[in-house]
A and B are shown apart, each in its own frame.
Chain A
Amino acid sequence: MARKTILQVLGIVLGLGMLMACGLVSPEASFAATHPEGLGAGRPSCSECHTNDVSKGAMKPYASFDHTPAFVQNHKFQANQDVNTCGTCHAQSFCVDCHGGKVPMKPAIKLSGSPDRMAPHRGDYMTLHKMEGKLDPSSCYTCHGRANNDKCRACHR
């Protein structure tokens, strides 16, 4: 009952927020749609140029978007909160290489000419997935739990 009330309150707050949005909308100019300069090869480190700056779109230090190995592995957090910052350099087709909903081949094959990218499922992953699925099936769920699971069905009926 308490939970239902919380949800109703949240719904009302959001509804009111939408209705009053015109008066409440931030007057700040939007963040740049595209990065003004081309970037070199490899993973960029935003803080190399934006030393202590705060990203206008995300209101966070640019350093929190440095493409370190840990960032590449855990980028879901930035994508959840700050997708407009990602969008200044990445078109959505970049995300679709892995997060396509339904894709015709595993990312490691599509990107086989770019071994520097973190494309999942390299080598004989068909065998390895039996072990990784045993250790943590919830890591499979992110991509294959609701979509992109045509091949899973061949065995997991």
Chain B
Amino acid sequence: MKRRTYVALLATLMSASAWGQEVSLYGTTMAQMWKEATPGFNKATFTPATQYLGIDATKLGSDQLSLHLFGWGRTDLSDASSFDGKKSGGYLNYGYLQYRFDRANAEIKAGRFTVNQSTGFEQVDGVSARTDLVNGFTVSAFAGKPVLYKTVDLTSQKDYDFQRDVMFGARLGWRMGRMAEVGLSYLQDGSKAAKDLAIPSTTDYTRKQLGADLSITPTSTFDLRARTVFDVSNERTNTAEQDYTATVKLGSQVSLSGNYAARAFQYLYAGTNLPSLFRQDENDAFRGMGGKLTWLTTASFQMSVDYRHTHRDTYGDANRVGTDLRWDFMEKAVLLGVGAHVVNADAVKTVDPAAPYKSISHREARVWTMVNKGRFTASLDGIVLHYESGNPYLVGVRKAYEGIGSLGYQATSNLKVSGDLSYGTSALSVHETRGLLRAEYRFGTTKKGGK
């Protein structure tokens, strides 16, 4: 979208909020400062100021019509904290008008919104509609221009913009009472192909995906969710992703969940705007399976144990196992959490003939606490990562840690101010000290948004 169109649309949408009978304006202003000392480089100081702003205006002339806007802006007061060297930036995350019908859970959206059907999670400038039909059917569809991110090099960006000219999709679902739901969806991103360019490119940014999703929830104690995505952009249909999760609740205290996922990168990465990283030509694949056991021993103590095995064709296997404990005291006025995980992974190949294989296994531990007392809040959060000696990515560093302390004061029901101080060390910086001031405010009547 052209910048002038963008500004005009935003101004129109914002002025429309004045018609709302219930308007909620909320935001967060953050001022950060941190210093980095990296061996071999000058010390650097960063002071970015960031503003998040959202508006929810409901009952715009009619009880069903509402407006929703959210975005952010940032500027650096000293060194540029962005890797592209720019000192300021901003973005409209969403901005749309919504008409919500009184029946059939029907709604229409127009503007910039997020689509999260079974085939993807996309941002679109366009329109969408959904409704429940009789006999348990549901239907939804959207169409528009995909939001383009200027995140590929200038030459490739032209190819990227050319191919991603339109995006549309639809989902047809069927709900069988409280038992199950099945859905079939289609998403197409771009109507032109790489071969249509004046100078044909080898990178194809267009996508055509067919998705199938399933949930089986016959009782309150069993839940199975699944989805499969097929890449249908080529002559032959290929499976890009499979993901299945089942949860069983044993009484009111114990739940057990298991997950299996498999992804074929060649088909999953169709349409990426970072082809150098998410490479389709690697013909690689991933499989992972694992589970989590959660035990709510008392009303105030929860323990979970998790395990996951992963396999990547070009790399090998890894096992991650660990536990998280969580307490709450005094009706959740005090929360405490402790977690520890161990990752045991195959060694990676290196080019060093003296040590052709090096370990990337590591351990992670975390402790945190939060206290709410009257108008005051306080929190502490510490994380430690411990790596094996000879890790190829860490140039001799074996331990990284970070501690964050935060204090907050709820000045009024609409305004909270807080400040954080953190200190840590990493493979990149011997010392990193970070300060953050935050003001969160909310004016108006709409209650959603905080949760």
Chain A residues in the interface with B (C-beta under 8 A): 3, 7, 10-11, 13-14, 17-18, 21, 24-31, 33-34, 38-42, 47, 51-52, 54, 57-64, 68-71, 73-74, 76-81, 83-84, 87, 89-96, 99-105, 109-110, 112-116, 122-124, 126-128, 130-131, 134-138, 141-142, 144-154, 156-157
Contact = CB atoms under 8 A, between A and B. Distances in A.
A17 B141 CA distance: 11
B202 interface: no
Contacts of A137: 265, 277-278, 286
Interface of B: 26, 28, 30, 32, 48, 50, 54, 56, 68, 70, 72, 74, 82-84, 89, 91, 93-94, 100-107, 114, 116-118, 121-123, 131-134, 136-137, 139, 141, 147, 149, 151-153, 170, 172-173, 175, 177-178, 181, 183-184, 186, 210, 213, 215, 217, 219-221, 223, 225-227, 232, 237, 241, 245, 247, 249, 255, 257, 259, 263, 265, 268-269, 271-274, 276-278, 286, 288, 292, 294, 302, 304, 310, 312, 315, 318, 324, 326, 328, 332, 335, 337, 343, 345, 348, 360, 362, 366, 368-370, 372, 377, 379-381, 383-385, 391, 393-394, 397, 400-402, 404, 406, 408, 418, 420, 422, 424, 426-428, 436, 438, 446-451
Contact of B381 (A28, A96, A112): A112
Contact of B184 (A10, A122, A127, A148): A10
Contacts of B172: 10, 13-14, 17
Nearest to B255: A68
B288 A17 contact: no
A64 B246 CA distance: 11
Contact of A77 (B215, B265, B368): B215
Nearest to A138: B263
Nearest to B226: A77
B315 A135 contact: yes
B102 A29 contact: yes
A34 B451 CA distance: 12
Given A63-B220, A116-B368, A150 B82 contact: yes
A123 B383 contact: yes
A38 B332 contact: no
Given A24-B133, A69-B292, A147 B447 contact: no
Contact of B257 (A17, A70, A130): A70
Contacts, number: 339
Given A7-B186, A91-B56, A96-B93, A69 B294 contact: yes
Decide if the interface of chain B is mainly helix, strand, loop or mixed.
strand
A70 B151 contact: no
Contacts of A83: 116
A140 B383 CA distance: 21
B297 to A, nearest CB: 14
A70 B323 CA distance: 13
Contacts of A92: 68, 70, 94, 114
28 contacts: A3-B237, A7-B232, A14-B172, A42-B328, A54-B178, A58-B181, A60-B178, A68-B294, A70-B245, A100-B91, A101-B123, A105-B32, A105-B50, A112-B381, A113-B379, A114-B379, A124-B401, A127-B427, A131-B360, A131-B362, A136-B286, A137-B286, A138-B286, A151-B83, A152-B274, A152-B277, A154-B83, A156-B276
A135 B310 contact: yes
A62 B241 CA distance: 28
Contact of A116 (B82, B102, B116, B370): B370
B292 to A, nearest CB: 5
Contacts of A69: 292, 294, 302, 304, 324
Contact of A103 (B32, B72, B268, B332): B72
B225 A77 contact: yes
A136 B147 CA distance: 26
B43 to A, nearest CB: 18
Given A68-B294, A124-B400, A131-B345, A101 B383 contact: no
